């Protein structure tokens, strides 16, 4: 891989990592802890939304982010020609 191509690939990789980590932090720390009092009036799954995010929602979002990251990185690898055939 050329230096410029490798640099662009790494920048794209870091960008998606930062996006996924930001979403995960917002959901787990933000919705589950900081915004829990604001979300307590909203009912979801038999309990309030803040509790749901703290107990189940952050885990489900984390699993969804893993699948999204895998899909996106496979696409990015094909785009830059570093995929495993």
- Residue whose structure tokens are 């410029």: 4
Report the alpha-carbon distance of residue 81 to residue 62 in Å, rounded: 28
What pLDDT was estimated at residue 15?
96
More confident residue, 66 or 43: 66
Instruction: Please tell me the pTM assigned to this model.
Output: 0.80
Angle at which helix 3-25 crosses helix 58-80, to 10 degrees, equals: 170
CA pseudo-torsion sign 49, 51, 53, 56:
negative
Angle at 80 between CA 20 and CA 23, to 5 degrees: 5
pLDDT of residue 69 exceeding 90: yes
42 DSSP 8-state letter: S
């Amino acid at each position: 891989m050329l230096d410029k191509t490798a640099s662009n690939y790494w920048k794209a990789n870091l960008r998606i990592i930062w996006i996924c980590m930001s979403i995960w932090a917002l959901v787990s720390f933000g919705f589950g802890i900081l915004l829990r009092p604001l979300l307590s009036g909203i009912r979801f799954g038999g309990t309030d939304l803040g509790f749901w995010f703290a107990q189940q929602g952050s885990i489900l979002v984390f699993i969804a982010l893993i699948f999204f990251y895998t899909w996106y990185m496979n696409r990015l690898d094909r785009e830059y020609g570093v995929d495993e055939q």
